[in-house]
Structure 1
Amino acid sequence: MTTIARIETFLVAPRWLFVRVETDSGIAGWGEATCEGRSETVRAAVHQLAELLIGRDALRIEDHWQVLTKGSFYRGGPILASAVAGLDQALWDIAGKHFGTPVHQLLGGPVRDRIRVYGWVGGDEPSEVRDHIAAQVEAGLTAVKMNASGKMSPVASVAELNGVVARVAAAREVLGDERDVAVDLHGRFTLANARRVAPLLEPYRPLFLEEPVVPENSHLIGEFVRSTTIPVSTGERLYSRQEFLPVLQAGIAVAQPDLSHAGGITEVRKIATLAEVYDVQLAPHCPLGPIALAACLQVGFATPNYLIQEQSIGIHYNQGAEVLDYCLDKTPLTFVDGHVERLTAPGLGIEIDEQAVRSADKKGHAWRSPIWRHRDGSYAEW
């Protein structure tokens, strides 16, 4: 039996929470339990859940997932799901290292040799958008994602709507017809605003429109889907198959579970299978660190309905550390023609610089989501 002997957590810049699970045989697995703005809370949850794992067989991953998610009368939510996700990723990393094979091989073997990735671009003005996208294209990416807007009024002004269109038009101008732009509404739009702006964006053919309504209003997303020809995506703030089912039934085209929020590799694989039944593609949310990205890629190499992968290398709001800073070897996560080639090393396929992680944890971080307000002083969605 490969017994779990120790579980540690590391709060590292810019806003991540890493989990390290060590066995009595000396194998260490890494996971990422980041929950942006709530990672200290998740850290406490990881250590509470550790009580259920210490002394147990590390290779009984499905059984552990069942106990971790259902072993308390009160279940679900982003804190628990993120804590479970980090532990689950680490257990899969251990399993791969134990058997000497990448995780995707344990998930049934590869169905593709490389995964297309996209990068985030900032910019409030069309000229800034052009410059930021040109830099991503120069770096070899074939797809980008951008926020549609900043703060949005509940009923948008003509100027606000025109601003959205101008930014997306600028993106299309730089990208041409051979590259893609995805547009993130980020839950900042009311249903009325989202329905007004979608027809204006259709001529620019976005790859998808993301999170047109906040997740607690998922019951409204079907109305939006029926109002546009643009593929609709959502899911970064949905944490289980049960939460994805209504939006799949409503007709979304792209599901975006987060491997660090939605129960890890174990649950996201099940979400992917459920999505396949509805002819929906997977594009996991991942503006996070190297462990989360590696976990996403391992799922992607073994999942047929996998569209594209988000990643945050060079993202505009990372401060204090970059994604590859915590990797001993940066090669596995290098982009080739806008893709990541299939990872071949055992486990998650990357080697974490433990010394750098332990050093970063001494400084920690206290990242928080910004608080926005409308002109009248009321809360505005970020």
Structure 2
Amino acid sequence: MLLRKAYRYRIYPDAAQEKLFGRTIGCCRLVYNLCLEQKNEYLRRRKSLSKFDQIKELTALKEEFDFLYEMPHHPLQQAVYDVHAAFDNYFAGLKRRRELAMRGIKANPEDFPKWPTFHKRGRKESFRYPDPKQIKIEPERIFLPKAGWVRIAMHRPIAGKIKNVTVSAIAGEWFVSAQTDLESEIPVNRGPAAGIDLGSAQPIVLSDGTVFGIPRAAPTERRKLEDAHRTVHRRKKGSKNREKAKLRLARLQAKAARRRRDAAHKATTTIAKNHGVVVIEDLKVKQLTKRGRGTAEDPGTLVKKRANENRALLEIAPRTIRTMLEYKCRWYGSTLVVVDPAHTSETCSACGVVDPESRITRARYVCGACGGDFDPDVNAARNILIKGTSATGGLPGMACGSSQTIGRKQEEDAREGGSSALQGRE
């Protein structure tokens, strides 16, 4: 089976190389936005415009903007490809949504790509080299067209055949991502099934009681972030000192995000390797993290408590964990099942009685019917597992049809458009 993987490394360009990378990102953004504007105009006129037509116009565009001659040519071409890939993903997702609606399958609109929008400075700070023949990688350096040899931290070897290399900037720090194709035989995973409950207090809890933590910001780190926020607001807009303060804040946030993502990768790899069936909730994160402030006519209550809960849940990044499990389960031969989260925290996993009052505290669940005493998160994870492995798709004691179990094939169909959107934003 052909597996597609990506390897990301930190690089350390010198001042000239860093300037070239920054200008290349800006030029790719310029080409992308001009092509998107032209494509939108052609669509309004109901005329066709292929990516090859626009690539041919790059020569004329370079004559208009002389500085484009100084940039590597292939990344500019890739900007044109990205425009058309975004439109292809949008129309494919639209078609898939209609097909699912005709089949009676309810799909989440957030999982499907939206109409392509213009790129702004500070977002999607990256460009791509599509020709692996132009790339040379050695243990301590990498050769990139126009930039030459750049120092790289190779913390692990690359397995497979390199297809393309992407250079990206995050908070002033530079990275390269090498996408590879690897032929590998995937054995059937015979491990036990596991249900996963995601929460703000205990980030990842399995049905067997295993808990995986996601590092949170310590009080000292939280104070540093608050100080950095205040410093940005004190600085004059448009000044160099404000830009320096914004960069310091971005680096603090990026460091915390890297720690959380590293922990999520380790946890999801362990889960996908050791379990043949993985059952996870279909959480609607946007709905769960709505602001509790309310309106003037209907003001909210416990606004600060709700904000803290929302921040804690967003730090866990449930959708990111689900995305990681989607491709890692394919790597390790396991099956991912997504279920409706309704009533999983209110149902006793032993007798199946639904009673919201049984959860007497955040850390204790005592069933009023059978007297079972559980950790609430473990109880919810067991209920999720029951939903995913039940032939009827329901929990014991619940009305048939009150929950939904989505099989692997059905689940892949339901999110096919969403996965295309992710590929278009790579």
Tell me the TM-score normalized by structure 2: 0.23
- Give the number of the structure with larger relative contact order, counting CA–CA contacts within 8 Å between residues 6 or more apart: 1
The structure whose residues are more often helix, as a share, is 2
Structure whose CA Rg is larger: 2
